[in-house]
Chain A
Amino acid sequence: MGTIGYLALFLALAASLYSVIAYFLGGKKKQLVLLASGKNALLAACGLLTLSITILMISIFRHDFQIEYIASYTSRDMSVTYLLTAVWAGASGSLLFWVWLLSVMAAIIVLQRRATGRELVPYAASILMIVQVFFVFLLISVSNPFHRLPFVPADGRGLNPLLENPGMIFHPPTLLAGYVGLTIPFAFAMSALLSRRFGDDWIIAIRRWTLLAWLSLGVGNIVGGWWAYLELGWGGYWAWDPVENASLMPWLVATAFLHSIMMQRRRGMLKIWNMVLIILTFALTIFGTFLTRSGVLSSVHTFGQSNLGPLFLGFIGLSLFAGFGLLYYRSEDLKGEAEMESMLSRESTFLLNNLLLVGATFAVFLGTVFPIISEAVRGTKITVGPPFFNQVNAPILLAIILLAGICTLIGWRRATPRNLVRSFLTPVIFAVIVVLVLLAAGITHAYALIAFGVCAFVLSTILYEWFRGTRARHHTRNENYLIAFFNLLGANRPRYGGYIVHISILLMAVGVVGSSVYAIEREATLKPGDATNVGRYKLEYINTDTYETASRLVVASTLSVYNSDKFIGTLTAEKYFHRSYDQPVTEVAIRSTLREDLYVILLNAEEDGTVVLKLLVNPLVAWVWIGGIVFIIGGLFAFWPDRRRALAAPVRSGEGG
C-alpha cells in the first residue's frame, strides 16, 4: 500500500513539472490548449497528492509499522484523534501535508472564478507548481514518508505524551496552512512582474488569500504559546526559541505587507516595496519550514538531524535571487504614482509602521541565526538569549502599537497641526486618566505605565472613531445607535476588521506586559499540613495521592487555596508516568482569572509526602488568550466576502485603516 503512495508522489512530480512548463509557455504564447493541459496536470497532481496523503493516513490507522514513519510516530494504543495528528508529527509527514495543502490551494486558485487578475493565473500557477516540484522532490529523495523498514516492528514508538494536547491538533496545521498560504501572494507578485501587469490587479487578487494565511499563521503562533503555557510547565508562553522565531518572522513581514498594499491601492505608492515584502515573506516561510526540520539551531522542537539543509538553503537562495533579480529588471516600471506629501500624514505612519515591522523582523532574524554567523566569522558560537529579543523588540512593538493609534487619527495626504490637536485631545486625556488611575492603584513600574498608557491611547482612538462613525450614521440615516454601529462595521469590513485586530493586539500587549513585569515566582518545600504564601494567595498542602490508571501512574498533590483567608478552592498539580513511554509528564495546576493566574508546578514528590513546588502568579495572562480570540474574530471579519466588492469599480477604493 505504501508503494502506491510513493508511486503517487512520483506521478505528482511528473504532473507538477509538466504543469510548470505548460502554464509558463501557455501564458507566454497565450495558447489556450497549453493552459488547459497545464490546468489538468495541476489538478491531477492535486489528486495524486491527495491519494498519497490518504494512503499515509490509512496506513497509520491500519498500524502498518513496516513504514518507518508510522513506527516512529504512532502506536497501537493511540486514540483516533492523535493518530490523525501523526500525519504532521514528523518531518516527512509534515512535508507531505505541506505540499498537499499547496496543491489544494493551487487547485482552488485555478478553479476560482475571479473578476480581477485572471490574466495573472497562468504564471502564478506555474510558480506555485515550481514550489510544489521542489517539495515533492524532497519527499521522493531525502524525506520519504513511505520508507519501509526491513522488518515489521510489533508496535510503534507512539506519540510523545507531552504532545497529547489539543494543541497538537490545531497548532501544526494552522501554522503550516499559514506558511503554505503565503506562497500564493508571492506567486501572483512574480506573475505580475513576469507579465508586466504592474497595476493593482495582483494585489486585489491576493488580498484575501494573504489575510487568511496571515490569520492562520497568527493563530498557529497563539495556539503554540497557549500550548506551551499549559503543557511545558515552565510558566511562560514564549521563549524566543528559534522555531518560534521562525514562525513569527514571516508573520511580522506579512503584517507589514497587508498594511503597505493599502498604500498602493489608495495612493499608488510603495509598489517596489510591496514586492520586496512579499519576496521576503515567502523566503521566510520556506526558512521557517526548513528550520523546524533541520538540526542547524538547537531548539526545543526540531525534528532531529536531517540532510534537508543544503536543498532548502539552495531553494531559499534561488527564490531570493530570482525574486529580487526579476524585481530589479522591472523596477523602472514600478515607479510610484504619488510622493509622500507630508510627515504628518497617514502615509508616513504606514511607512514608519512598515519600517518598524521589518526592523523587528531583522532583529529577530539576527538573534536567531547569530550562533551560525559568529561561528562562521569567528569560529565560536555565540548565542543571544531572551533578554536580547525582549530588549530590542519590546520598544519597537510598543512604537508600532502607538502608531496604530496615531494612524487612526491622521488623515491621508496631509494633516494640519490644528485638526491634529483637536483629534488627539480626547484620546490623550483618556490615556492620562488611565495612567493616573493605575498610579493611584499602586502601579509604579515605568515600563508598565508607559505600555498601559499607550494601549489606553490606542484603544480610545479606535473606540472614538467607531463612536463618531456611529453618531454620523445615526444623524444622517436616522438609524438607532446599535443598528448604526453594526451597519458601520458591516459597511467596510476590511477596515473595521482591521480595527478589531488592532484591539486584539492591545489586549495581548496588556497580557504580555502584565505577566512579564509583575510575575511572582517562588519555590516551596512543604510537608502535609504546611502552608505558604504567594502573592495574595495562601496555599495549604493537603496530601499527595499516588494511583494507577490503565496507561499510567499518577502522582497528584492537592492544595487548598485561600485568598486573604477566604477559601476559594483546591488545586491539584500532577506528574504522570506513562507505562509505554519513558518520560514523565508534568501537569501544572492553574487557577485562571481575568486578573491573574495562579500556576503551580509539582517539581518533586518524596516518599514521605514532602513535595517541592514551584508557585507562580502571572498577572493578566488570560488577556493574551482573550486577545487571541478577538484576533480570530477581527481577522475573519476582515476576510468575510464583501457584498459591495462585486459592484466595486476598479478604481482606488476606500480601504483605509
Chain B
Amino acid sequence: MLKRKKFFIGGLMLVVAMSYLGFMGFQNSATYYYTVSEALAQGNAIYERNLRINGLVVDGSVERVPATSTISFLITEADQTIKVVFSGVVPDTFKDSADVVVEGRFDETGVFQAKQLLAKCPSRYEPEEVETTKR
C-alpha cells in the first residue's frame, strides 16, 4: 500500500509541475484574437493589450518605406479597416486581398504596430478562383 501511495504522490507532483509550466506559459503568451470589426468594437480596451487581428489586405493599400523592411497596409473585415505597420520578413503569400493575421499593439494614433505578420497559406486554394479565371 505504501508503494501505491508513493506512486500516487509522485504522479500528483508531476501533474502539479506540468500545470504550473502550462499556467506560466499561458500567462506569457495568451493573446486575444479578433477580427477587424471585433477589435474596433472593443473601444479603448484594445490599447492596453497585445492582440492578434484577422482581416483581408485592402487592394492597393500596401506601401513600402524605401530602403527599409517596413511596410504599411490596411486590413478590412465587415466594412471596417485598420491601418497596420510592420517591419521584418514579409511572407511570400502576403499580397492584395490576402487573408492575414497580425500580432502586436495599437499605438496612440490608432495605427496597429505589428510584430508579426502571418498570411495564409501555401496550400490553400479557393475553388471559386478557378471560376474567376474563366470569366
Contact = CB atoms under 8 A, between A and B. Distances in A.
A302 interface: yes
B122 to A, nearest CB: 4
B101 A298 contact: yes
B36 to A, nearest CB: 14
25 contacts: A153-B130, A157-B133, A162-B92, A163-B122, A163-B123, A299-B121, A300-B120, A300-B122, A302-B120, A303-B125, A304-B125, A342-B3, A343-B3, A343-B6, A355-B14, A359-B14, A380-B32, A381-B32, A381-B34, A384-B31, A390-B25, A391-B25, A523-B69, A584-B92, A604-B64
B125 A603 contact: no
Contacts of B79: none
Contacts of A386: 29
A68 B127 contact: yes
Contacts of B33: 371, 380-383
Interface string B21-40: 11011101111111000000
Contacts of A371: 33
Nearest to A389: B25
Nearest to B119: A300
B133 A392 contact: no
Contact of A232 (B6, B91, B127): B91
Interface stretch (A110-118, A125-133, A562-570, A606-614): A606-614
B38 to A, nearest CB: 8
A391 B21 contact: yes
A603 B89 contact: yes
Nearest to A228: B122
A392 B21 contact: yes
B11 interface: yes
Nearest to B23: A392
A381 B101 CA distance: 13
Interface string A333-374: 000000111110000100110011001000100100001000
B118 interface: yes
Contacts of A603: 69, 88-90
Nearest to B89: A234
A210 interface: no
Query: Is chain A's binding surface mostly helix, strand, loop or mixed?
Result: mixed
A383 to B, nearest CB: 5
Given A162-B92, A303-B124, A610-B67, A395 B129 contact: no
A384 B26 contact: yes
Interface string B93-135: 1010000010100000000000000101111111101110110
Contacts of A389: 25
A71 interface: yes
A583 interface: yes
A396 B133 CA distance: 50
Given A301-B122, A356-B14, A523-B69, A392 B22 contact: yes
B28 A160 contact: no
Contacts of B92: 162, 232-233, 583-586
Given A160-B122, A160-B123, A391-B24, A382 B89 contact: no
A302 B126 CA distance: 11
B120 A583 contact: no
Contacts of B66: 606, 610
B120 A387 contact: no
A301 B123 contact: yes
B106 to A, nearest CB: 17
Interface string A242-259: 000000000000000000
Contact of A304 (B28, B54, B126): B126
Given A352-B14, A356-B14, A391 B89 contact: no
Given A153-B133, A525-B68, A582-B95, A363 B121 contact: no
Contact of B22 (A72, A149, A340, A363): A363
B122 A162 contact: yes
B54 A298 contact: yes
Nearest to A356: B14
A365 to B, nearest CB: 11
A382 B31 contact: yes
Nearest to B98: A583
B51 to A, nearest CB: 10
Contacts of B34: 380-381
B25 A302 contact: no
Contacts of A160: 122-123, 125
The 4 closest A-B pairs by CB, nearest first: A391-B25, A381-B33, A387-B29, A388-B25
Nearest to A339: B3
A90 interface: yes
A160 B22 CA distance: 37
A151 interface: yes
Contacts of A582: 95
A304 B121 CA distance: 9
A392 B25 contact: yes
Given A157-B125, A300-B120, A382-B31, A387 B130 contact: no
B28 A157 contact: no
A90 to B, nearest CB: 7
B125 A72 contact: yes
A344 to B, nearest CB: 11
A73 interface: yes
B37 to A, nearest CB: 14
A180 interface: no
B24 to A, nearest CB: 6
Contact of A302 (B30, B69, B121): B121
A371 to B, nearest CB: 6
Contacts of A299: 120-121
- Among A233, A391, A395, max chain B CB count under 10 A is at A391
Contacts of A233: 89, 92
Contacts of B87: 523
Which of B7, B34, B129: most chain A Cβ within 10 A?
Answer: B7
A612 B92 CA distance: 16
A392 B134 CA distance: 49
A46 B125 CA distance: 30
B120 A298 contact: yes
Contact of B32 (A162, A301, A382): A382
